[in-house]
Amino acid sequence: MPPALILSTLGEPLALPTFYSISMTNLTHTQTRLLSQAAVFIQDMAKDPRYAMGEQDVSHRLEAIAAEISNTGTYVHTEDELCFGVQWAWRGSNRCIGRHMWRTLQVQDCRDVRDKEGVVASLQQHLQWAWKGGNIQSVITVFAPRKPQQTDQPDPVRIANHQLLRYAGFEQADGQILGDPHSTTFTHRMMQLGWTPKQKTAHTPLPWSIWIDDEETSPVDHFAAHPEQFPEVDITHPDYPGIDALGLRWYAIPVISEMALVIGGITYPCAPFNGWYMGTEIAARNFCDPQRYDLTEKIGQAMELDTSSHRNLWKDQAMIAINQAVLHSFDRAGFRIGDHHELGAQFERFCQVEEKAGRPLNGDWNWLTPPVSGSMSPQFHRDFDNSVAAHTNFFYQSGPADDVSARSSAPVEEAAARSNDPFHLENQHETPRCPFGFDKLAKVLPIRRPSSKKSSSHS
């Protein structure tokens, strides 16, 4: 029998091997697309020696997935698929310079956690697991997936915070912001919902905003009750006491909690994950960006530099000093932190090993090149292919409040207009860019003819 012809969502005929044609003929276009994403993902997984999957295993699993999609509209990842999936999503994150560590990411499987107390307990467990007494390790907690095609269904769990640990930004009477300006809108919302911070400082930890079944629950001021779970470092410089006197501090663990995780076409809208910091993220961006703590001038003055003209490069001197201070302070506290030279070199080695093995990496030059001493990093001198592996990756997404209102009005058109960012979830629907390309799916699926016994059970 010739391969069955099925129209892809892009309108091109998609040749699929006979082996799959039975289970696939009754799939809708969206379901076919989900199956194609699952197929690329399972193929990627099979190439990982840790899972010892042969062609037979791949065939069986894809057949089961096809049947499950046909019956339920979705499919459920096995534990192994979840473990590999989160790691593969990290490996495919074009903007991350720490990806050489992708195989070390550990999963907390919370797909069956459905209530607020359970979510809080899971997040607490996540932080404990990640912390390791300062020797931070990468952890991801995965909550329930979204049902494909059921865009009117509520998301079981969402977290509205940008990160689990983050400082509030309080708008003051004179229009100035006390704290992190990045957090002003969120801080305002939390206070509207009844959050009363014990103290308003430049470093007040924000509460958690947990959504259950599309309902916003009251803010959880977890760190007010458990300050020990919010490890922080006071920033000092070995040579400039003026910098110590600025009273700067930063938290130790970056846990991104607002992004969507996609594995083999299945979206997990709540999957907080952490790594550890690279010094420049705190020193160059969080402390010195004009739209953040905007401290360059204060640092220059604290160092007693001549700040009357930029010509003496006092800004650059201040920038280097605050970067030294952050690394020095984390090191002294015994908290894990990377520097841009070390991570740049490790990433370059990773690119070389992967290229040699025929597994090239995609990347986003603008993000991979560090914000200080750019041309000293190997990334500066490379070109990267910035195409997105859409079947398995991390994506930006609208916040739960926007998603809930989109679900109750015209969802598709409104959502599509929101962002042009190629790393936004909304922009993955019409232009799936799997590494193999949607139309080449037939080449990815095993075309091997099944044995006669097996083919009879499927024909």
Interacting residues with ligand ARG between 16 and 45 (CB under 6 A): none
Contacts with ligand ARG by CB under 6 A: the residue count is 8
Stretch that binds ligand ARG, among 240-248, 270-278, 346-354, 437-445 (CB under 6 A): 270-278
- Of the two residues 183 and 286, which places its CB atom closer to ligand ARG in the complex? 286
Q: Is 276 known to be catalytic?
A: yes
- Of the two residues 275 and 300, which places its CB atom closer to ligand ARG in the complex? 275
In the complex, the smallest distance separating the C-beta of residue 370 from ligand ARG, rounded to whole angstroms, is 12
Which residue among 83, 96, 351, 434 is the active-site one? 96
Q: By CB under 6 A, is residue 256 in contact with ligand ARG?
A: yes
Q: By CB under 6 A, is residue 281 in contact with ligand ARG?
A: yes
In the complex, which residue's CB is closest to ligand ARG? 275
- Of the two residues 155 and 281, which places its CB atom closer to ligand ARG in the complex? 281
Q: By CB under 6 A, is residue 179 in contact with ligand ARG?
A: no
In the complex, the smallest distance separating the C-beta of residue 282 from ligand ARG, rounded to whole angstroms, is 6
Q: By CB under 6 A, is residue 81 in contact with ligand ARG?
A: no
User: HEC profile for the chain?
Assistant: CCCEEEECCCCCEEEECHHHHHHHCCCCHHHHHHHHHHHHHHHHHHCCHHHCCCHHHHHHHHHHHHHHHHHHCCCCCCHHHHHHHHHHHHHCCCCCCCHHHHHHCEEEECCCCCCHHHHHHHHHHHHHHHHHHHCCCCEEEECCCCCCCCCCCCCCEEECCCECCCECEEECCCCCEEECHHHHHHHHHHHHCCCCCCCCCCCCECCECEEECCEECCCECHHHHCHHHCCEEECCCCCCHHHHCCCCEEECCCEECCCEEEECCEEECCCCEECCCEHHHHHHHHHCCCCCCCCHHHHHHHCCCCCCCHHHCHHHHHHHHHHHHHHHHHHHHCCCCECHHHHHHHHHHHHHHHHHCCCCCCCCHHHHCCCCCHHHCHHHHCCCCCCCCCCCEEEECCCHHHHHHHHHCCHHHHHHCCCCCCCEHHHHCCCCCCCCCHHHHHHHCCCCCCCHHHHHHCC
Q: Is 99 known to be catalytic?
A: yes
- Of the two residues 45 and 105, which places its CB atom closer to ligand ARG in the complex? 105
Q: By CB under 6 A, is residue 278 in contact with ligand ARG?
A: yes
Stretch that binds ligand ARG, among 169-177, 276-284, 396-404, 445-453 (CB under 6 A): 276-284
Stretch that binds ligand ARG, among 54-62, 209-217, 275-283, 440-448 (CB under 6 A): 275-283
Q: Is 96 known to be catalytic?
A: yes
- Of the two residues 333 and 442, which places its CB atom closer to ligand ARG in the complex? 333
Q: By CB under 6 A, is residue 277 in contact with ligand ARG?
A: yes
Q: Which residues are catalytic?
A: 96, 99, 276, 281
Footprint on this chain of ligand ARG (rule: CB under 6 A): 254, 256, 275, 277-278, 281-282, 286
